[in-house]
Amino acid sequence: MLNSKIAKSVRLALVFGAASTAGISATAMAAEESADEVERIEVTGSRIKQVDMETAAPVTVITAADIQLSGEASVADVLNNSSVNSFGSWRGMSGYGSGGAATSNVNMRGLGANYTLVLLDGRRMPGTSSSSGAAADTSRIPMAIVERIEILRNGASAVYGSDAVAGVINIITKKDFNGVSLTYDTELPSIDGGDTNRFSVSSGFATDKGNITLTYEHSKADAVFDRDIWELDSPDYGAFSGYSSVPNGQGKDSKNWYSADFCDQAENVVPSGDGRCLYSYGAVTKLFADTEQDSILSNFNYSITDNITFRGRASASMSKTDARYAGTPVSTSKPVMSADNPMNPFGEDVTLSMRSANLGNRDTRVEISNIDFVGGLVGFSDLGNGIDWEINAQRSRSNTESFNQNLINDPLLQTIINTGEYDIFNTSGMDFATWDAQMAEMYAGAAHMGTYKAEFESTQFDGLVSTTLIDNSSWQLAGVVGAEFENIEFTQYSDPLSASGNVSGGSGGDDVFAERDRTSAYVELQAAFPFGLDLNAAMRYDEYDQEGDVGAQVVSGKFDEVTTQFGAAWRVTDDWILRASWGESFRAPNMGEMFSSQALSFETEYDTLWCDIQGNAASDTVYCAPSGIQHKTWFGGNPDLKPESGESLTMGTVWNVTDNFSMELSYYDVELENRIASISTARLLSDEIENGSNPAVIRDAEGKIDVMYSFDQNQASLETSGFDFKTHYSMETGFGDFGLRGEASYVRDYVEITEKGAEPFDSAGLQDYPEWRGNMTLDWSYENFGAAWSTYYIGKQESGNEEYNVTYLKAVPSYFKHNVQVSYNHDWNGKVTLGVNNVFDREAPKWYDGFYDYRDASTALYDVLGRTVFIKVEQSF
């Protein structure tokens, strides 16, 4: 096949990441007299191969060179810095169950990770257990194998299925590589902890019949403790809990008791002004866990005949994560020391607020393994105008196991206390060491090892046929038709005791035993008309048939939906394109949302009724802390859920001003209806005040919140809109080549109706919902030397005090982070890069006014590690 100049320009755009390659029309192609055929390539957003990177759908391309210039060392961090990741995305932190402490994801347009489809070489990645298989873990992709990342910035349910509501992330891996390449890099933050080391080896071998590539990567990152980031000795520090290692007792009339002598001697405790000993849990917790990961990925293809090729991919990853949370607060069921207990010096029943820090911290080991195999045949037939076809099979499996140490069996601890053998309030006058050892022995008698296991298995078969249906001097029409079948089995369960709700310090109960079959069929058409006008249309049918065991019975749900999408691109001139795309979206409820049993969580809320309306705030300043405290809350699935639906619209223009300068401006609007959401605890408390009571809010004898109940429902809606801007400029001079690329996104509105009966609420511009995000990179290269300066910007945010009806939040200022690096390509086919991320050691802005909690900043949005030096060494043979 002959490559025309146009096809070559498209290929160069793909490889080198040009911001735009507009201006390739059917008329221009016809003018290329030297080309009998034009090479067509796959572009994210369509299954029809084409000659132009710029189509009706907006796609951002981040090449391997762009990634290296950014200074970021993982796919997760690169995606988090993208401006379309509007409000940041999840990075695993200590204290989150279901394996969530060990995963990362991406959150396009702020809709949620399960609304963004993540592909690896055009195929779905396995989902994480913490998302019930609905969101992929972006941290498991070896950076050394990434050739580019394509971000489709509009909904594409009609092309890719129900997950592609906000957009699509397609991670493209290297496939044509000869030789061996070694890479080592290290990151050294200025704070204690967080040191990261990464080693990879890539090899490739090619013949005239095919090639194979193999990449292995090992990475290890040290934990980051909260105490090394936040100012524990600041007067504004407020991460204290009444669940203390020196127990607090509360009798009738809210009278408090504790051992004052031991509160002066124990670690991480301080006396409060309301007669209690408080525990500083932020002094011992890990913000980011110790992590270690091994990943391997191989691509291979072999030409069976001139027109049939076998291709495949195999990948595996294994990770170990060691997270830490403070010693267990015995809070699921508060123990009581009865009035007749021989160790009770107060003569009345005493409710105990205890923490088993004497036994040790809650350490959690999470082990995740993923395996993914893809194999298929790709062929071509010269029938008619030529037919491209392919058939594929994919098998994926993801396993998560979690082991939670030093949890407390509440009923067993109550039984031990009832024996009267343990002197909790030191009535016998022991010294601190003796008493502390006695308390550790007591907790050890009730200690529990919590376990969690999840398994996600997917088997998929798919195929497609594409061809040029009409090809004459006036216009062209190409089409593709395809079908997919996927079977998913998803299981997650905790140990029975944790699931029963009788264990403090862990999570459990969200057990899922479910299976899903997905059958899909789709068709796409793309027409090229004179005067540079291209039109495309897509239609897809999806059927989900799933069933799950909800305990009392096995229930099932069946959903089917037809979604459509239409797009148009008009090349006004060779250098200027106008485009628009509209499509319907559809998301079926995932298996956790439908079939999970009741799960225990602890939600942070301020109890306005008890603290303010009933006038008790002054009597319990910890319970009535302005930022709220955690309350026991039960969540659960709902087998009666229905699919979500919506629409997305994008419009924009791309202008190649000169050969070296291009710009893009796009507008987007996304609407979602029947969103699946649990009734928020804030709404539960608000309804209680409005109606005088709420059966979903249970209070204790004192009137404080004991437990709340919330379950998933189709009750929410969302509309968000805004603008994206991209630009790229390059310049060659006698003292080096310069490049400038940048992008920015503006969130015009983000209007939610969180549940039925609620008023629309626009969060855009409020805390954690910045209107502006952007980044820009200036790079220079001359002979063997290179340098780059990258700037990341997050706009200011209003406090939201008036909107949230609170007084304790403060406005967040705008935030800039700068990364710089220099590099040298030496004569032995290698490269050395030295850089500094967050050069000016910019601190993440804090949320609260006059005080702060120990996690008083958004790790999803901001860099909390401070200035980080990194070194990268690459060597090829």
Report residue 54's pLDDT band, with 50, 70 and 90 as the boundaries.
Answer: low
For residue 68, the model assigns a pLDDT of 86
Q: Name the CATH topology of 5-234+285-333+360-418+430-691+723-876.
A: Maltoporin; Chain A (2.40.170)
CB 224 within 8 Å of CB 290: no
DSSP secondary structure letter of residue 97 = T
Report residue 128's pLDDT band, with 50, 70 and 90 as the boundaries.
Answer: confident
Average pLDDT on 833-846 reads 93
Residue 9 has pLDDT above 70, yes or no: no
List of residues 6+ apart from 610 with CB closer than 8 A:
616, 623, 624, 699, 703, 704, 705
Residue 8 has pLDDT above 70, yes or no: no
Average pLDDT on 255-272 reads 88
Rounded to whole angstroms, the Cα distance separating 267 from 208 reads 68
Query: How many Cβ atoms from other residues are within 10 Å of residue 408's Cβ?
Result: 28
For residue 869, the model assigns a pLDDT of 96
From the list 489, 480, 508, the residue with the least C-alpha distance to 549 is 489
For residue 639, the model assigns a pLDDT of 84
For residue 36, the model assigns a pLDDT of 43
In this structure, the chain runs to a length of: 877
757 is written with which tokens?
A: 């009966």
> What are the pLDDT digits (tens) for 203-222?
999 888 999 999 999 999 99
Q: Which residues of 495-516 are buried (b: 16+ CB within 10 A; e: fewer)?
A: bebbbebbbbbbbbbbbbbbbb
Rounded to the nearest integer, the mean pLDDT of the chain is: 86
Average pLDDT on 572-601 reads 87
Rounded to whole angstroms, the Cα distance separating 542 from 162 reads 8
Nearest 10 degrees: CA dihedral of 521, 307, 33, 526? Answer: 0
809 is written with which tokens?
A: 């939040």
For residue 300, the model assigns a pLDDT of 92
> What are the pLDDT digits (tens) for 397-422?
989 999 999 999 999 999 999 999 99
Residue with more model confidence, 301 or 41: 301
Q: Which runs of E-coded beta strand occur in 414-475? A: 447-471
Q: pTM for the complete prediction?
A: 0.84
CA distances 853 to 235, 236, 330, 825, Å, are 12, 8, 21, 46
Top-confidence range, 94-108, 449-463, 488-502:
449-463
Residue 476 has pLDDT above 50, yes or no: yes
> What are the pLDDT digits (tens) for 780-806?
999 999 999 999 999 999 998 888 777
DSSP strand pairing (224-225 vs 286-288): antiparallel
Least confident among 131-145, 227-241, 255-269, 651-665 = 131-145
Average pLDDT on 185-201 reads 93
Average pLDDT on 253-280 reads 86
pLDDT-above-70 percentage for the chain: 91
Top-confidence range, 280-294, 668-682, 684-698, 749-763:
280-294
Paired residues of 152 in beta bridges: 59, 168
- Residue pointed to by tokens 């050890």: 444
Residue 759 has pLDDT above 90, yes or no: no
Residue 252 has pLDDT above 80, yes or no: no
Least confident among 187-196, 593-602, 767-776 = 593-602
Residue 22 has pLDDT above 70, yes or no: no
> What are the pLDDT digits (tens) for 657-681?
998 999 999 999 999 999 888 777 8
Alpha carbon of residue 655 to chain centroid: 33
CB 398 within 8 Å of CB 135: no
Alpha carbon of residue 161 to chain centroid: 20
Least confident among 21-25, 337-341, 831-835, 844-848 = 21-25
CA distances 140 to 37, 65, 171, 588, Å, are 39, 20, 12, 26
> What are the pLDDT digits (tens) for 234-243?
877 888 888 9
> What are the pLDDT digits (tens) for 303-324?
999 999 999 999 998 989 999 9
829 is written with which tokens?
A: 């086919």
Q: Which residues of 109-136 are buried (b: 16+ CB within 10 A; e: fewer)?
A: bbbbbbbbbbbbbbbbbbbbbbbbbbbb
pLDDT-above-90 percentage for the chain: 49
Paired residues of 206 in beta bridges: 211
> What are the pLDDT digits (tens) for 512-552?
889 999 999 999 999 999 988 999 999 999 999 989 887 66
Paired residues of 437 in beta bridges: none
Q: At what angle do helices 410-418 and 432-444 cross, to 10 degrees?
A: 130
CA distances 16 to 9, 174, 327, 350, Å, are 10, 14, 51, 70
